[in-house]
Copies of this chain bind each other. A is one copy, B any other.
Amino acid sequence: MIGRLNHVGVATPSIAESVKLYRDVLGATQISAVKAMPEQGVNVCFVDLPNSQIELIEPLGEASPLHGFLAKNPSGGQHHVCFEVDDILAARDDMAAKGATVLNNGVPRIGAHGTPVIFVHPKNMGGVLVELMETPKGAHP
């Protein structure tokens, strides 16, 4: 079912500081503008690599789900892994049927790439918060 590794989500207390790290120390050259995702309570910024992306995420607002993560990991750290799927509703139903816990009551949200996404609880995923994202139409020819 899962297809491409779309991105690795990396939580940070400051996207601006992380951009310096990826640009000036690791030498990444393609870094997006910061985009606010108020519904998810995060700002996001993508570091483009030749085959995938790092998604930098920082808290947006007091109710951001990232505050808990950053309380445990003040410097930031790996937060989730995002795999592409062809059909988000089929993927959700398949995961739920196999006993996985789909967050947000299984209701997909529109993710940073403009297609629907779901998150699966780490307790069913070997400790990894898994995002499934519907592949953008026309992407990756």
> Is A127 in contact with chain B by the CB < 8 A criterion?
yes
> Is A126 in contact with chain B by the CB < 8 A criterion?
yes
Interface centre among A24, A49, A98 (most CB of B within 10 A): A49
- From A33-41, A60-68, A76-84, A107-115, the one touching the partner chain is A76-84
Residue on B nearest A14 in the bound complex, by CB? B126
CB distance from A24 to the nearest CB of B (A): 7
On whether the beta carbons of A5 and B8 are closer than 8 Å, the reply is yes
- A77 contacts across to B, CB distance below 8 A: 78, 122, 126-128
Residue on B nearest A98 in the bound complex, by CB? B25
Expressed in whole angstroms, the Cα–Cα distance for A102 and B49 within the complex equals 22
Expressed in whole angstroms, the Cα–Cα distance for A77 and B21 within the complex equals 23
27 contacts between A and B (CB under 8 A): A2-B28, A4-B49, A4-B51, A5-B49, A5-B51, A12-B126, A12-B127, A17-B126, A18-B126, A21-B126, A24-B98, A25-B95, A25-B98, A25-B99, A25-B124, A26-B83, A26-B130, A51-B52, A52-B52, A54-B81, A73-B127, A74-B127, A75-B122, A75-B123, A76-B126, A77-B78, A78-B78
